[in-house]
Structure 1
Amino acid sequence: MALPPAFLDELRARTPLPSLIGRKTRLAKSGRNWKGCCPFHGEKTPSFYVYDDHFHCFGCGAHGDAITFVMRAEGASFPEAVERLAAEAGMEVPKPTPQEAARDRRSRDLHAVMAAAAEAYHRRLFLPEGRPALDYLLRRRLSEETIRAFMLGWAPSGRGAIAADLRGEGVTEDQLVEAGLVRPGEAGEPPRDFFYARVMFPIRDRRGRVIAFGGRILGDGQPKYVNSPETPLFRKRMGLYGLDLAREGAFRGGAVVAVEGYMDVIALHQAGFTGAVAPLGTALTPEQLEELWRISPEPVLCFDGDAAGARAAARAAETALPLITTERTLRFATLPSGEDPDTLVAKGGPAAFQAVLDAALPMSEALFGLVAGGRPATTPEQRAALRNRLTGAAGVIADKALAAEYRRVLLDRFFASSRLPQGGRPTVRRPARPAILEGPVRAERARMLFAILLRHPWMLPQVEEAIGLLDLPDGPSAHLRAAILAWHGTAERLDSEGLIAHLAECGLEDAVAWALVPAGLPLAARAEALPGEVEEGFWHFFLRLRGEADLIEDQQEARRILAETNDPAAQRRLILLTEALDAVRRGENTAGASGDAA
């Protein structure tokens, strides 16, 4: 008998792959993943990568999960591998019972029923009766290739259509009811199709099996979308549309992004954003967030730029805060007002949506605006209420160290905002501190900035121009900038090991050693730092190196852009610039800021 999927999923979740695979081959941290030499074929250059829930060798093609690894590495059968991993995880392998065997057979049968139904709906889309639905999809700019890849279909309006289509497959009426494809008849009437006169969207589980359907009406009727009822295969709060394809997209390096609707997911996949998913007509649930984190430690949640989108983002943050850790968090992206991903890609192409992703804020930065909610905070009562909400939001984070960091970041932003009334000038000027030696401070700030780049060269595409603007002190920082920018123009992969090897070939070993001296380095310069921490650290030191006159010009430009666009990213930039300018004017030595020393 097959083991329950829930048991196997929990077993995989309880088995850390790096420690399991590390027994057979030496692994080294590579960004947020691990890599090493493949244990299944002899190689000298590492091409074996270990992710949160699977491994893959780009040399021999070996691929799988924890169970697969034990089977392949130790020659174990599937039951033996499960028994060994379960013993290590402190789990008991379920014993088969007649009831479980019957339930397992029914589940397998229902998967076959749903697969057959998906095929039937898909065939009807290309028949004359499905032409209006096909025309609708083509008008929505979907290619026939995309339509077939997502197995889109058409449920006709006639009673008993799906039963007729599946009768030749030996599917019974009871199975149709249990699968949610028909409703039982009332008062002796025959069963009725659950979906009729709708464009059909098969919903798959993470393994690619059809477990439910979404149906969209043609025209303006209501409800516009309906989903399958809950069945033995389908629980709405557990699934994500496009999850099986997004796992593959994330594996190939795509950003995992949760959007609102089915058509948004399909349009984004067609445009090359193959990590797109959507909840099934509900607000994001804890279970859906767990699914996102299984394929990415920092997925992006994308919301409309209107009031409803802001409320949805705030609800998502409220759901996520108790669940985030140092290893998994979120980013928040906001669409231009009046646009959704589908229309945005249609008007501006992939670059338009990529710009939205590039402007996504780490949760630590987005949270202030989500908690403030656009409500005024000018009176002492309003400010006290906002401060209480901010500390309360940080307080629900289970990891106490992380909660303390969030509280610090939120309150720093709170106090910074109090220094920026209309006009953007501080209301109180503090006495100037004694002057400090500028040369050593600038050199130390430059060291921090280049230490971050050496560990995280993936940032170069977004900061190359900014680095070129800096007036750097003579010495190792200037030499590093020239060599790094030259390397960026020719490098095939922006990885730390490759960059440091290139700099060594250029005779800059001493400069690299100078930059990476551990004393005083910020958290952002650690190899394991999260992307949000890296970006925050880089811009912190960049702004302190920019110079007062340049910062004033940057601040004026940021204020102009904010007034024209009311863009949250522009507001964030203005706040950072103002804080940096204030620190420069006070003569504040912030060389070691932005995180504890590494």
Structure 2
Amino acid sequence: MSLPPGFLEELRSRTSLTQVVGRKVMWDMRKSNQGKGDMWAPCPFHQEKTASFHVDDRKGFYYCFGCHAKGDAISFVRETENVEFMEAVEILAREAGMTLPARDPQAAQKADRRSELAEITEAAVRFFRLSLNQQAASGARDYLARRGLEAAAQERFELGYAPEGNALFAHLTGRGVDPQKIIDAGLAARPDDGRAPYDRFRGRIIFPIRDPRGRCISFGGRSMDPNARAKYLNGPETELFDKGRSLYWHGPAREAAGKGQTLIVAEGYMDVIALVQAGFGATVAPLGTAVTEDQLRLLWRIADEPVIALDGDKAGLRAAYRVIDIALPLLEAGKSLRFALMPEGQDPDDLIRASGAGAMQNLVDGALPMVQLLWARETEGQVFDSPERRAALDRVLREKIKLISDPSIRSHYGQAIKEMRWQLFNPRRSNNGGRGQGRKWQPPGTPQASTKSSLLAAADSRVDDHIREAVILATLIATPSVIDEVEPQLERMECRDSDHDAIRAELLALPPGADARAAVGARIGDDALENLMRIPHVAICPAVRHPGDAEQARLTLDEAFGKLSALRGLVAEIAEAEEELSGVADEALTWRLREAAEARNRALRSQQEDKAAYDKGPNGLMMDRDERSAFDALLNKITYTKPRR
């Protein structure tokens, strides 16, 4: 089967070679530079231990310095999937959302229309540029000067002017260009009544839109007539131009992002120009539409965490919320968005003019994670003074989190939402390090539950997490090679013992290959270190008795972190339940306590160290007797304060 000459070119431009190859290799991130699309891995075509297989995502080619294999995305799929050329093209076309052309034996003889149309748009760029210097464009030049765009900036962004009337159509046809091709390039339109074609852009400042390879694929125009129906106008979709798959300033922004600049997504042409002029070279904008799924994928090919910079008004917030709904199902590990909201009534140009580029940089540096904006959308201006309203909030947030397909990200979002929910409904614990004086809402006439019930203190006394902390720290001292694997859990582990906290800090700062025992001993003293290692549960731990056994260390750490999380989760649920007791029986409270107890039971059921006698709790859950007493006391409080029906 023959393909149109422009089809493969378009397929390669829409395909990320890094993503295609990444399904078959494990990247060496120490050697790779993801921002520049410069990736290294052990070669998938021959056996090797070092990363000699190089992928240049921007150029779309790979090369192995060991076996000398080389090619592009199509050849890689052919070799790794053992398929023919057309099958490889079909695989990549499906992933890129492209329809494979119908079989046409004459396709090779057809003119490359895309190249022809691109030549026409390039001729239009030159015409618009020349028109900007004519007398009729004086108003446009004055406008650009007021916006701070002098001749050098106009040249850099190739700004032009579309005169009134049909000047462009007359210019191109006068040079022998087929009128139909001018229409097909999106530069002119033919009226339904059959009259002569007319220019799409008239009396407007022109912004050329280029693809990542630098070809002009369409134009945007800003009207100089304040009464125009549309202030900004984009070219129509053509064989060259797909609004939902294109970005303004794509190519230069990708290059700047590859050099380490933060990728910023602004609202329009002038925002991009203002930001680029202020030094934010990695700035792009969607083209007259809300950000689409395809545009998000384009953004993530440039940078892992683009910053969405939107005007600080209601329209800007609505745009940000739409982006969240589109992005949630597409999130992957390491791929997310942050949001920088301008001060109300200002766009990036206004902010930079008023306060300088430093103010914009501060906004970018302090951009909000997407989960915070999601939370703000569902809670801003709302009052949650009843169980029904709180339950409605929980339902909405659960439905949003369910949209996330990646289970790990979904779990982290759930945890973040839970923490923000706790801060909203339990202000006393969110102020002054958890000891604030704020009072939570209570139903009228209902007395505050006693603050001296000591359930939390009792739970803390029963949960001997000091031992779990000691096992974790001793295991990492014995086998420091696994520290990197559990670094997130270790960072989140709150040590109540000062020596444990000092050991944790030392392990987190430990350089690769360093002697962990010596470093910890120097930090807390050899005597304190020996005391840690002599704790009975630590001394008999297999991972401590067999230092350097990474597999045993992983098993021990997984088990210990799980126990610690489950026990502290039970403590937190009891504490939260105690604070929420307000004289109204709530079945959700008992359910949450049972769930927490069940999680605790699962974590401890198989452990050798738990020798205490057990009772059966609700639904047959195993609890030690102290825990059962505290649990029953809490349920009794709910029962005794239940209002009469």
Q: TM-score with structure 1 length normalisation?
A: 0.66
Letter in 2 for 1:184: R
Indicate the residue corresponding to 2:215 in structure 1. 209
Letter in 2 for 1:348: S
Question: Which residues of 2 match residues 1-80 of structure 1 at below 5 A?
Answer: 1-9=5-13, 12-13=16-17, 15-17=19-21, 28=30, 54=56, 64-65=59-60, 67=61, 69=63, 74=68
Kindly tell me the number of residue pairs found equivalent between the two proteins. 462
SS of residue in 2 equivalent to 1:92: helix
CA apart distance, 1:351? 0.7
**Does structure 2 conserve the Cα–Cα contact (< 8 Å) formed by 1:249 and 1:274?**
yes
Indicate the residue corresponding to 1:92 in structure 2. 88
Question: Which residues of 2 match residues 347-426 of structure 1 at below 5 A?
Answer: 347-420=354-427, 425-426=438-439
SS of residue in 1 equivalent to 2:222: strand
CA apart distance, 1:296? 1.2
**Does structure 2 conserve the Cα–Cα contact (< 8 Å) formed by 1:161 and 1:193?**
yes
Q: Which one scores higher on RCO, CA 8 angstroms, separation ≥ 6?
A: 1
More deviation, 388-397/4-13: 4-13
CA apart distance, 1:510? 8.2
Identity of aligned residues (%): 32
Letter in 1 for 2:248: Y
**Does structure 1 conserve the Cα–Cα contact (< 8 Å) formed by 2:249 and 2:284?**
yes
Structure 1 CA distance for aligned equivalents of residues 6 and 68 of structure 2: 21
Structure 2 CA distance for aligned equivalents of residues 305 and 10 of structure 1: 33
SS of residue in 1 equivalent to 2:186: coil
Letter in 2 for 1:218: M
2:165 is the alignment partner of 1:170: no
SS of residue in 2 equivalent to 1:93: helix
Structure-2 change in CA distance of 1:305 and 1:472 (3 Å) = farther
2:240 is the alignment partner of 1:233: yes
Work out which of the residue numbers 261, 267, 278 in structure 2 matches 1:260.
267
Indicate the residue corresponding to 2:254 in structure 1. 247
CA apart distance, 1:215? 0.5
SS of residue in 1 equivalent to 2:345: coil
Structure-2 change in CA distance of 1:102 and 1:235 (3 Å) = farther
**Does structure 1 conserve the Cα–Cα contact (< 8 Å) formed by 2:131 and 2:137?**
yes
Indicate the residue corresponding to 2:137 in structure 1. 130
> 1:254-277 CA deviation, whole Å, 9 max, x = no partner?
111111111001111111111111
CA apart distance, 1:479? 8.9
Structure 2 CA distance for aligned equivalents of residues 70 and 170 of structure 1: 48
Structure 1 CA distance for aligned equivalents of residues 307 and 194 of structure 2: 50
SS of residue in 1 equivalent to 2:226: coil
Letter in 2 for 1:200: I
Letter in 2 for 1:263: M
SS of residue in 2 equivalent to 1:403: helix
Structure 1 CA distance for aligned equivalents of residues 145 and 104 of structure 2: 50
Structure 1 CA distance for aligned equivalents of residues 262 and 413 of structure 2: 24
Work out which of the residue numbers 143, 146, 154 in structure 1 matches 2:153.
146
Indicate the residue corresponding to 2:614 in structure 1. none
CA apart distance, 1:376? 2.3
Structure 2 CA distance for aligned equivalents of residues 304 and 2 of structure 1: 38
CA apart distance, 1:49? 11
Indicate the residue corresponding to 1:544 in structure 2. none
Structure-2 change in CA distance of 1:145 and 1:74 (3 Å) = farther
Structure-2 change in CA distance of 1:271 and 1:125 (3 Å) = same
Indicate the residue corresponding to 1:197 in structure 2. 203
SS of residue in 2 equivalent to 1:312: helix
Letter in 2 for 1:7: L
Structure-2 change in CA distance of 1:353 and 1:77 (3 Å) = closer
Structure-2 change in CA distance of 1:302 and 1:30 (3 Å) = same
**Does structure 2 conserve the Cα–Cα contact (< 8 Å) formed by 1:260 and 1:278?**
yes
CA apart distance, 1:156? 0.4
SS of residue in 1 equivalent to 2:405: coil
Indicate the residue corresponding to 1:307 in structure 2. 314
**Does structure 1 conserve the Cα–Cα contact (< 8 Å) formed by 2:321 and 2:377?**
yes
Q: Which structure has the bigger radius of gyration?
A: 2
Question: Which residues of 2 match residues 113-128 of structure 1 at below 5 A?
Answer: 113-128=120-135
Structure-2 change in CA distance of 1:11 and 1:424 (3 Å) = same
> 1:457-493 CA deviation, whole Å, 9 max, x = no partner?
xxxxxxxxxxxxxx99997899999xx9xxxxxxxxx
> 1:329-381 CA deviation, whole Å, 9 max, x = no partner?
11122111111111111112211111111111112333211233432222222
**Does structure 2 conserve the Cα–Cα contact (< 8 Å) formed by 1:256 and 1:275?**
yes
Structure 1 CA distance for aligned equivalents of residues 356 and 107 of structure 2: 50
Letter in 2 for 1:380: P
Q: CA RMSD in A?
A: 4.5
CA apart distance, 1:160? 2.5
**Does structure 1 conserve the Cα–Cα contact (< 8 Å) formed by 2:371 and 2:416?**
yes
Structure 1 CA distance for aligned equivalents of residues 66 and 51 of structure 2: 18
Structure 1 CA distance for aligned equivalents of residues 388 and 280 of structure 2: 45
Structure 1 CA distance for aligned equivalents of residues 113 and 502 of structure 2: 72
Structure 1 CA distance for aligned equivalents of residues 168 and 41 of structure 2: 51
Structure 2 CA distance for aligned equivalents of residues 109 and 319 of structure 1: 35
SS of residue in 1 equivalent to 2:88: coil
**Does structure 1 conserve the Cα–Cα contact (< 8 Å) formed by 2:507 and 2:520?**
no
2:74 is the alignment partner of 1:82: yes
> 1:417-441 CA deviation, whole Å, 9 max, x = no partner?
1012899625464735257999x98
Letter in 2 for 1:88: T
> 1:513-547 CA deviation, whole Å, 9 max, x = no partner?
x9xx988999xxxxxxxxxxxxxxxxxxxxxxxxx
Indicate the residue corresponding to 1:552 in structure 2. none
Structure 2 CA distance for aligned equivalents of residues 287 and 97 of structure 1: 29
Indicate the residue corresponding to 2:538 in structure 1. none
**Does structure 1 conserve the Cα–Cα contact (< 8 Å) formed by 2:351 and 2:360?**
yes
More deviation, 82-91/278-287: 82-91
Structure 1 CA distance for aligned equivalents of residues 522 and 243 of structure 2: 55
Letter in 2 for 1:64: K
Structure-2 change in CA distance of 1:312 and 1:36 (3 Å) = closer
Structure-2 change in CA distance of 1:418 and 1:310 (3 Å) = same
Uncovered stretches (5+) of structure 1, i.e. residues with no partner: 40-45, 56-62, 456-470, 485-498, 523-598
Structure 1 CA distance for aligned equivalents of residues 513 and 220 of structure 2: 52
CA apart distance, 1:3? 4.2
Letter in 2 for 1:286: E
Question: Which residues of 2 match residues 450-465 of structure 1 at below 5 A?
Answer: none
Letter in 2 for 1:204: R
CA apart distance, 1:13? 4.9
Structure-2 change in CA distance of 1:510 and 1:230 (3 Å) = farther
Structure-2 change in CA distance of 1:323 and 1:188 (3 Å) = closer
Structure 1 CA distance for aligned equivalents of residues 557 and 438 of structure 2: 32
Structure-2 change in CA distance of 1:221 and 1:99 (3 Å) = farther
More deviation, 292-301/405-414: 405-414
2:297 is the alignment partner of 1:290: yes
**Does structure 1 conserve the Cα–Cα contact (< 8 Å) formed by 2:169 and 2:198?**
no
SS of residue in 2 equivalent to 1:233: coil
